[in-house]
Structure 1
Amino acid sequence: MDKKSYPQINETLYTEVLENGLTVYLLPKNDYHKTYGLFTTDYGSIDNEFVPLGKNEMIRVPDGIAHFLEHKMFEKEDGDVFQAFGRQGASANAFTSFTKTSYLFSTTDQVEKNLETLIDFVQAPYFTEETVEKEKGIIGQEIQMYLDDSNWRLFFGILGNLYPKHPLHIDIAGTVESISQITADDLYTCYHTFYHPSNMTLFVVGKMEPEEMMASIRKNQQQKTFAAAAPIKRHFPIEAAADIVRESSIEMPVQRPKVLVGLKGLDEVPEDGFDLLKYKTAVNLLLQLLFGNTSQNYLSLYNTGLLDDSFSYEFNLDRSFHFADIGGDSDQPEQLAAELERILLSYEDSPELTEENLDLLKKKMIGKYFQSLNSLEYIANQFSQSLFGKTTLFDMLSVIEAICLDDIKKIGKQFIRKDGLSRFYMYPKN
């Protein structure tokens, strides 16, 4: 078991790769009463075209199957796993993103028992055609709920413009039509391919003795048999700048128009984990410099009435994609979009890009980072989502400190390109 200390943040992380390929991370925090366990597979909604374990041919599975599989994992032949956690004084949950599926519990009691329950239920799939058919109606209602959410539709609208071929533009839950095609055999195929221990991580944070905890996890895994590990072969469509839809719109029953300007990363990102996290952090800092609520750009747009408190921006970077989206509600969405694009494309000459402004934002980011590490919920949910090779959430302080203004400008030149821009509008119906 490897032990790595982070003296600047007073954390010690224990790591071990088990014989079956499962990577285990333990973060003892013995001054807390609560413990979180998070079991994550590197499998999400975009992974719908792949070579199944033990096969040679690429297959295409229905959209939304990763999310569907997450739902079905909790149902077993002898009952619902949520009830078992409840009897043991724990709460449980799960979530599916574009690239990952995570199962988690939190408890102040019977930690090892709840951890065993988490590992065992995720590693024991049970699907029947009857239970699969029953779930289709439940998830169909969930899909309809998101279809009625204007901000959700706005987000996937800009994704549809930026990634018209890539499965990123497809709702994580799929469509009512796509989930109607899912069978129990499909679920087993996806499960055995992506839920192999070698494609998964287990992260535990909270009150524990790491040697005892790791010994318990080793014992659990040694009692189980898994197929030989094999590299997972995924396929994603090749897209170019010419494929981007430059502008599109929909109508919905909203009070005011909405707009998102999307910016798709067209160049390759760094492969090294530290450099990749540095790239992601630098783009976030660049967006804060240009659009943060203390910037002159924001204040000017706010004072002229082009934007309001609904305005937001975010940057997403993950396996096979990276993009930014910026916007919100506006009575003049076309003018707002034009101004946002102007600010982006003229970033090199922006008076916002100064050493003083960057230093202030870095201090603010470091402050929020330290504050967030007081939350076990934040650590548990962010750790597995922020793995960049051997670089983890706990390297974030070093990453922030390593960024200088020249890095911001260099990365801006790489990321901000006119041919990567798109607009998506939402107008009030009727």
Structure 2
Amino acid sequence: MVEVRYDNLNETIHRYDLDNGMKVMIDPKPGFNSTYGILNVHFGAINNVRLNGDQLQGMPLGIAHFLEHKMFDKHDYDSSDRFGKFGSDSNAFTSFDQTSYLFNTTSHVNDNLDVLIDLVQHPYFDEKKVQKEQGIIGQEILMYQDDPSSRIYFDTIGNLYHGSPLDHDIAGTVDSIAEITADDLYAMYRQYYVPNNMDLMLVGKVDKDQAIARISDLEKAIKPINPTQIATLKQKTNEAIQKSPIVASDYSEMNLSTGKVAVGFRGPSDQVYGSQFSKNELSLGLFLSMIFSEDSESYQRLYSEGIINDSFGYDFDMEAGYQFVIFAEDSDHPELFQQSIKREIKRALDDASGLTKIFNLIKREEIGQSISVMNSNSAIANQMGDPLNEYTNIFDEVQILNQLSLSEVIDFAKHFFDFGKTTLKVIS
């Protein structure tokens, strides 16, 4: 066990590396009434390949999300009912590179831990129930296809990494999920749902010694897989993403009264780990806020010129194999929007001398927001980090933010933004 103390914040994180490779982080808060637990499996929508013997085998798109849905459904009980029996709210979600299962409770912490571990330990996939779930998820996919905001987001990512595992909705397609069988689910479960590809975070009113004893005992039955297998699979996936081409522009129709436009930037392919990764991620967030928050000169200029409106927004994601930024708004002038976004970014990168005031303002705001959510168990647990940043947590991030300089932020932004790696997506 490693104990990391943050005396200035009165916080202590206890990290355990279990014998089977699972990582457990516990932040005990004796004065709290609730406990939040989240178990992450580092397996998401982009991980649709497995090793079948010595051969690499592709699997149907959307299988990670499908697997998440079916993990709750056991042979003669439903895990959601068991969480409810012990007074907790439970949920799960799948992203491009991760599947997470969580609970929030004010009582029976150890019993809820048992349910959480059982949830990922004992899969039960029945062919008839799989077929029923195909219809349910199929309707979910069609719903998202009819949502222009969802369409433009995922289509823009797909344009930035065309033909790669990122070129699809997380849930897959109606056709792809129709191919999924119970055997496929078991195969992917055995490949990825292994303790050395998982971590567990507990924050709140929890006895750390009791909790780790319970987790260790429950996990003894699960054997780790050869870590080089998962590393090989993820390397193959990342290679496919990095080799993918960019679609410069793409237009589609949905009979909208006002069109939707998105401009995407594909980030660099190089990869760093640990606290440096968190520093880069925080730097990009600060840069975007300096240029495109409502307090910035760029935002006010674009707004006064009528180039952006109240629908304007941006999002970014940085992971092991991909990094991107997306700007979007409702507009019937997509080319002007794209040119203006590029202009404002280039203006800041060429001359950052006028950004000192807003940098200090945004930085203080970010630190303040981080501190303000430190009373939230879920916020702490969800920002406990992962293998990519070597479990750099929200308390570490406050220290990193305090030390970040404007020049460091601009230097990383110059490294990130390549004006030759962009896409324009339009839905009219």
TM surpasses 0.5: yes
Task: Report the CA distance between 1:241 and its aligned residue.
Answer: 8.7
Select between 393-402 and 32-41 the one with higher mean Cα deviation. Answer: 393-402
Task: Report the CA distance between 1:390 and its aligned residue.
Answer: 4.1
Task: Report the CA distance between 1:56 and its aligned residue.
Answer: 1.6
Question: Structure 1 residues 112, 291: closer, same or farther in 2, change over 3 A?
Answer: same
Distance 1:93 1:21 in 2: 25
Q: Secondary structure at the match of 1:168?
A: coil
Gapped regions of structure 2 (runs ≥ 5): none
Task: State the one-letter code of the partner of 1:30.
Answer: P
Partner of 2:318: 317
Checking the alignment, whether the CA contact within 8 Å between 2:162 and 2:244 is kept in structure 1 is no
Distance 2:385 2:255 in 1: 37
Partner of 1:425: 426
Distance 1:225 1:333 in 2: 53
Checking the alignment, whether the CA contact within 8 Å between 1:296 and 1:352 is kept in structure 2 is no
Question: Structure 1 residues 239, 92: closer, same or farther in 2, change over 3 A?
Answer: closer
Partner of 2:361: 360
Partner of 1:393: 394
Q: Secondary structure at the match of 1:335?
A: helix
Q: Secondary structure at the match of 2:425?
A: strand
Question: Structure 1 residues 227, 214: closer, same or farther in 2, change over 3 A?
Answer: closer
Q: Secondary structure at the match of 2:55?
A: coil
Select between 69-78 and 381-390 the one with higher mean Cα deviation. Answer: 381-390
Distance 2:409 2:395 in 1: 22
Match of 1:243 among 245, 251, 258: 245
Task: State the one-letter code of the partner of 1:393.
Answer: I
Task: State the one-letter code of the partner of 1:291.
Answer: F
Question: Structure 1 residues 384, 149: closer, same or farther in 2, change over 3 A?
Answer: farther
Distance 1:417 1:266 in 2: 8
Question: Structure 1 residues 372, 225: closer, same or farther in 2, change over 3 A?
Answer: closer
Checking the alignment, whether the CA contact within 8 Å between 1:93 and 1:103 is kept in structure 2 is yes
Task: Report the CA distance between 1:152 and its aligned residue.
Answer: 0.5
Task: State the one-letter code of the partner of 2:143.
Answer: M
Matches within 5 A, 1:188-199: 188-199=186-197
Task: Report the CA distance between 1:11 and its aligned residue.
Answer: 1.4
Task: Report the CA distance between 1:134 and its aligned residue.
Answer: 1.1
Task: State the one-letter code of the partner of 1:302.
Answer: Y
Task: Report the CA distance between 1:270 and its aligned residue.
Answer: 2.2
Aligned residues: 423
Gapped regions of structure 1 (runs ≥ 5): none
Question: Structure 1 residues 406, 352: closer, same or farther in 2, change over 3 A?
Answer: closer
Distance 2:32 2:351 in 1: 45
Partner of 2:223: 226
Question: Structure 1 residues 127, 27: closer, same or farther in 2, change over 3 A?
Answer: same
Partner of 1:22: 22
Distance 1:185 1:252 in 2: 37
TM-score (norm 2): 0.94
1:188-229 deviation digits (Å, cap 9, x = unpaired): 11101111001100111110121222122222223x242544
1:15-46 deviation digits (Å, cap 9, x = unpaired): 11111111111111122111111111110000
1:106-145 deviation digits (Å, cap 9, x = unpaired): 1111110011111112111111211111110010011011
Matches within 5 A, 1:5-84: 5-51=5-51, 55-84=53-82
1:270 equivalenced with 2:272 (yes/no): yes
Distance 1:333 1:317 in 2: 25
TM-score (norm 1): 0.94
Task: Report the CA distance between 1:161 and its aligned residue.
Answer: 1.3
Q: Secondary structure at the match of 1:76?
A: coil
Checking the alignment, whether the CA contact within 8 Å between 1:48 and 1:61 is kept in structure 2 is yes
Question: Structure 1 residues 254, 377: closer, same or farther in 2, change over 3 A?
Answer: farther
Task: Report the CA distance between 1:165 and its aligned residue.
Answer: 2.4
Task: State the one-letter code of the partner of 2:380.
Answer: I
Distance 1:228 1:156 in 2: 32
Partner of 1:105: 103
Task: Report the CA distance between 1:285 and its aligned residue.
Answer: 0.9
Select between 179-188 and 306-315 the one with higher mean Cα deviation. Answer: 306-315
Partner of 1:168: 166
Task: State the one-letter code of the partner of 1:359.
Answer: N
Checking the alignment, whether the CA contact within 8 Å between 1:146 and 1:152 is kept in structure 2 is yes
Question: Structure 1 residues 225, 49: closer, same or farther in 2, change over 3 A?
Answer: closer
Task: Report the CA distance between 1:392 and its aligned residue.
Answer: 2.6
Task: Report the CA distance between 1:184 and its aligned residue.
Answer: 0.8
Root mean square deviation of aligned Cα = 1.8
Checking the alignment, whether the CA contact within 8 Å between 2:296 and 2:358 is kept in structure 1 is no
Question: Structure 1 residues 241, 350: closer, same or farther in 2, change over 3 A?
Answer: farther
Distance 2:62 2:241 in 1: 22
Matches within 5 A, 1:106-185: 106-185=104-183
Partner of 1:259: 261
Select between 169-178 and 287-296 the one with higher mean Cα deviation. Answer: 287-296
Distance 1:221 1:210 in 2: 16
Question: Structure 1 residues 349, 205: closer, same or farther in 2, change over 3 A?
Answer: same
Task: State the one-letter code of the partner of 1:92.
Answer: S
Q: Secondary structure at the match of 1:243?
A: coil
Task: Report the CA distance between 1:61 and its aligned residue.
Answer: 0.3
1:280 equivalenced with 2:281 (yes/no): yes
Checking the alignment, whether the CA contact within 8 Å between 1:386 and 1:392 is kept in structure 2 is no
Task: Report the CA distance between 1:51 and its aligned residue.
Answer: 2.2
Select between 201-210 and 64-73 the one with higher mean Cα deviation. Answer: 201-210
Task: State the one-letter code of the partner of 1:248.
Answer: D
Partner of 1:405: 406
Checking the alignment, whether the CA contact within 8 Å between 1:267 and 1:415 is kept in structure 2 is no
Task: Report the CA distance between 1:168 and its aligned residue.
Answer: 1.1
Question: Structure 1 residues 84, 194: closer, same or farther in 2, change over 3 A?
Answer: same
1:301-329 deviation digits (Å, cap 9, x = unpaired): 11222212211112200120001011211
Question: Structure 1 residues 207, 248: closer, same or farther in 2, change over 3 A?
Answer: same
Task: Report the CA distance between 1:333 and its aligned residue.
Answer: 2.7
